Amino acid sequence: MPAKKKPTDKPLAGADLIKEVNRRIRAAKSLWDAHNNAACRGERDKAIALYETLTHEQREKVPEQLRVWLRYRSEKYFGPQRTPP
C-alpha cells in the first residue's frame, strides 16, 4: 500500500503552481485516453480550479496544447448542456 501524502501547509504559488496545473491537465488527458471518464472528470475539475487561480501571464506559460485540450473537453464533454454523472 502506498504511503499517504502529507498535506502541505502553504498553498502553491509561482512556478510550482504552473507545474501542478500542467501535471493535473496531463493526468486528466491520460485518463481520458484510457476511457476512464469518472476519474478524468475529477482531475479536470481540480485542474480547472487551479487554472482559474493563475494570472494572465501565468496562463501563457501553460503549453497551448494543454490549454486547448482543457477548454475543448470542458465545453464539449463536461459543459452544462451535458447530463451530469
Which pLDDT score, from 0 to 100, does residue 14 have? Answer: 76
Tell me how far apart the terminal alpha carbons of the chain are, to the nearest angstrom. Answer: 29
Mean pLDDT across 56-85: 79
Q: Is residue 1 scored above 70 in pLDDT? A: no
Give the DSSP letter of residue 35. Answer: T
Which pLDDT score, from 0 to 100, does residue 22 have? Answer: 92
Residue 76 C-alpha cell reads as 464539449
Which pLDDT score, from 0 to 100, does residue 10 have? Answer: 67
Which of the four pLDDT bands, split at 50, 70 and 90, describes residue 23? very high
Q: Is residue 78 scored above 80 in pLDDT? A: no
**Exposed / middle / buried, residue 78 (Cβ in 10 Å: 0-12, 13-18, 19+):** middle
